[in-house]
Amino acid sequence: MKVTAPNETRQQKLKYLTDNGYLHNLRGELGMSTKTLSLLTKLPDDMFTALIPNDAKNGATGNVILPEDLVKAMRRGSKELQAKYNTTDMIDILYAEATK
């Protein structure tokens, strides 16, 4: 468990999340690992791993069509975390989940 200062800046949070593989820069865009998607939606990361094309795992970009029931489950998990942390800020939620 990582002990954190109560008022870490957004840049410090982004650095931690990037350094630990939760976020990455993909041609100037924010990229997320399947572990990140799992933390932000409260769903197992293997649900996302199975949907991502093999070439996308090596930095290629593309689109994935998600089943409606998965989208609903993702929203439900996301809303629960927003209520838990009393924020809609993805970085704050991800940081809290990653460091707990």
Q: Is 5 within the bounds of a domain?
A: no
> Domain range for residue 50?
10-98
Q: pLDDT at position 47, please?
A: 87
Q: For residue range 20-63, what is the model confidence (pLDDT) as tens digits?
A: 999 988 778 888 888 999 999 999 988 888 877 665 555 556 67
pTM here?
A: 0.80
Q: What angle do CA 20, 31, 27 make, to 5 degrees?
A: 115
**For the chain, how many structural domains are there in total?**
1
- What string of DSSP letters covers 32-87? E-HHHHHHHHTS-HHHHHTTS-GGGGGT-----PPPHHHHHHHHHHHHHHHHHHT-
Q: Is 3 within the bounds of a domain?
A: no
Q: Is 2 within the bounds of a domain?
A: no
Q: pLDDT at position 59, please?
A: 57
